Amino acid sequence: MTAHALDKDLEAVAVSARAELVRVIGASGAWDAEPGWRAVFEAVPRHVFVPYYYVGSAGGYERLWRDSPDPWTRERWLRGVYADAPLATRLRDGELVSSSSQPSLMARMLVELGVADGDRVLEIGAGTGYNAALLAHRLGDDLVTTVDLEPEITESARTHLADAGYRPAVVTGDGTRGVPEHGPYDRIIATCTLPTIPRGWLAQCNPGARILAPLATGLIALTVRDAEHAEGTFLNTAAYFVPLRGAEPGPGDDIPHRAGDHELFRFLLTLTHGTLEPQDARELWERELRPRRERYGVTVAGERVWAWLDDPEGPYIWPLRSGRRRECDDRA
């Protein structure tokens, strides 16, 4: 049996479960602006990219995997793969360090990326390879490059992609440096939370390129003007990813991930980490009528990278820290 093949009973489950996932993503409104992504999610089998994952249990985590000798466990694995939920795919010393993103969030990000035929795309964070497969199905293998720091990750992603019939470029390297030899790019998408926008990415982009990346607890969408300048605002979508490995907790990290005002205040605290004290952030947030994510933005100009509220040259601006170099820990 190949990595792609399932036994007869599970094939039927996979077909119905994938159809239900596509229905759920559609009902969420994720691809209302670009319904062509529906056919892509219908075509690319997620189970090929997640041969095992972990679910919480009383003793920590339980591993569900495709090749379990227990038929019931195999079916639980498959139904979980096609749930609209993130999947814990890697543990280290008993702690979660990597996951496969929620499919409806992946769909929303791909729509917001705004690709067109002929666009060349760089993905930061190869992960399981599933997101690269979706991009390759839409654009073609030759236009997609995915990069990850760990050889173990890239080798696994390359295998999963080949099993599913896709062969985009899979590169082992530091994603913050991009992959200049495969550029220039029309789109860059990151599948991990970043502390800032790496300035080197801009030089690998065509003018007018779009960069979409998780930052703080949101998604920043930047338009690249040239190798020295990019600017854009946050989407209204919350985006929570596995915390960067070994990073110290920041202000607001102990605030529950709840919708509404608490969640939006946490976004401000995370975005301004190290530059605003919690009390100062609270006063600003109340004074500005509890602003939503869309009022915040980021500007990259030469050596400077800063976040802002309402106006990149206004009274509320905060420098973004470069952060220590770490690999992406939440990967598609």
Is 218 a domain residue? no
Mean pLDDT estimate for the chain: 88
Predicted confidence at residue 4, as pLDDT, reads 59
When pLDDT is averaged across residues 85-90 and rounded to a whole number, the result is 90
pLDDT, tens only, 282-295: 999 999 999 999 99
* C-alpha span between 304 and 324 (Å, rounded): 17
Predicted confidence at residue 332, as pLDDT, reads 62
HSE of 292 in the Cβ direction (CA atoms, 13 Å)?
7
Is 28 a domain residue? yes
Predicted confidence at residue 261, as pLDDT, reads 80
Is 13 a domain residue? yes
Is 242 a domain residue? no
Please give the residue range of the domain that contains residue 73: 1-102
When pLDDT is averaged across residues 96-121 and rounded to a whole number, the result is 92
Is 76 a domain residue? yes
How many domains, in total, are found in the chain?
Answer: 1
Check if the beta carbon of residue 77 is closer than 8 Å to that of residue 33: no
Is 63 a domain residue? yes
* Residues known to be catalytic: 98
* C-alpha span between 215 and 234 (Å, rounded): 9
Peptide bond connecting 184 to the previous residue in cis, omega within 30 degrees of 0:
yes
Coil/strand/helix, residue 80: helix
Is 224 a domain residue? no
Instruction: Let me know if 179 is exposed, middle or buried by CB neighbors in 10 A (0-12, 13-18, 19+).
Output: buried
Predicted confidence at residue 249, as pLDDT, reads 37
Lookup: tokens for 129: 């390879």
Is 220 a domain residue? no
Residue 218 has pLDDT above 70, yes or no: yes
* C-alpha span between 89 and 68 (Å, rounded): 16
